[in-house]
């Protein structure tokens, strides 16, 4: 009985070790999903109402990223912005937001996203969740989901435009940094989107390391 119990305990410990290893790897798997380079020049589709006040901010974010690529010497560009009516159900966005925040790999693509044209689909939602970005590299598709502009902190001045640009930065392959003066600051650092608040409309900058990473992802002649 002692030998059998020992073998069973050993088997349990091995299973527990495998489960723990998988759990520890999940954030890395989720990060890898986001950090692969695009192999096409992605068109941007806004899913929402044409009169949504955030639509001009999506266009402004594209106008932030494309000159950034030009400045670093990369030929990569975001394509034209198209606005179409539609929405991803709020409960799906909330579930995806929780999955992204936990570092889990997201396999299922929402039906509304599958039906939407373009590569980077920006869903302007009326729901309350933590805005996020998620990619399906093998499908050449990404979702940038932006919470209601009526919810804190997006109702603060200058915040929504930077949140949109920040999440698009994730879709392009950038992670978080810990500098609250920079666009890509975020978890696990304490900086939050309300750090973007300002009476002046402007985008926060990238770090030199982030610019170098973008050039490595999208090099000249690449």
Q: Residue 128 pLDDT more than 50?
A: yes
pLDDT tens digits, 9-21: 444 445 344 333 3
Helix, strand, coil % in the chain, rounded to nearest 5? 45, 10, 45
Residue with the larger pLDDT of the pair 173 and 24: 173
- In sequence order, which residues have a C-beta less than 8 Å from that of residue 130 and are 6 or more positions away? 97, 101, 147
pLDDT digits (tens, 9 = 90+) for 44-84: 999 998 899 999 999 999 999 999 999 999 999 999 999 99
Strand partners, 39: none
Segments making up each domain of the chain, as ranges: 32-217
Task: Indicate the pairing of strand 141-146 with strand 120-124.
Answer: parallel
Quick check: 22 pLDDT over 70?
no
* Packed helices 208-217 and 55-72: angle between N→C axes, nearest 10 degrees: 80
For 88-101, the pLDDT digits (tens) are 999 999 999 999 99
Pairing of strands 120-124, 44-47: parallel
The pLDDT score that the predictor gives to residue 108 is: 87
**Architecture in CATH of 32-217:** 3-Layer(aba) Sandwich (3.40)
How confident is residue 205, by pLDDT bands cut at 50, 70 and 90? very high
* 87 closest CA partner among 157, 143, 13: 143
Q: Is residue 185 over pLDDT 90?
A: yes
- Give residue-wise pLDDT tens across range 104-119: 888 889 999 999 999 9
pLDDT tens-place string over residues 147-160? 999 999 999 999 99
Measured between its terminal Cα atoms, the distance across the chain in Å is 64
| Whole-number pLDDT of residue 222 | 65
Average pLDDT, the chain: 87
Rounded to whole angstroms, the Cα distance separating 122 from 144 reads: 5
Helix and strand numbers (H, E) in the chain are 6, 5
Q: What is the mean pLDDT of residues 4-13?
A: 44
User: Is the confidence at residue 161, as pLDDT, over 80?
Assistant: yes
Question: Is the model's pLDDT at 25 over the cut of 80?
Answer: no
């Amino acid at each position: 009985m002692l030998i059998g119990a020992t073998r069973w305990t050993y088997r349990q410990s091995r299973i527990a070790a495998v489960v723990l290893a998988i759990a520890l790897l999940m954030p890395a798997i989720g990060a890898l999903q986001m950090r692969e380079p695009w192999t096409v020049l992605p068109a941007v589709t806004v899913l929402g109402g044409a009169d949504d006040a955030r639509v001009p901010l999506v266009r402004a974010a594209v106008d932030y990223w494309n000159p950034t690529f030009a400045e670093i010497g990369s030929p990569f560009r975001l394509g034209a912005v198209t606005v179409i009516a539609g929405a991803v159900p709020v409960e799906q966005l909330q579930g995806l937001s929780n999955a992204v925040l936990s570092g889990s790999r997201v396999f299922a693509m929402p039906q509304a996203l599958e039906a939407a044209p373009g590569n980077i689909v920006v869903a302007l939602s009326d729901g309350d969740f933590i805005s996020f970005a998620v990619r399906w590299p093998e499908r050449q598709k990404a979702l940038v989901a932006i919470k209601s502009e009526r919810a804190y902190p997006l109702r603060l001045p200058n915040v929504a435009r930077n949140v949109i640009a920040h999440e698009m930065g994730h879709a392009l392959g950038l992670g978080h940094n810990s500098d609250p003066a920079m666009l890509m600051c975020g978890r696990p650092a304490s900086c939050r989107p309300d750090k973007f608040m300002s009476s002046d409309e402007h985008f926060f900058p990238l770090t030199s390391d982030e610019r170098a990473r973008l050039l490595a992802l999208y090099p000249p002649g690449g």
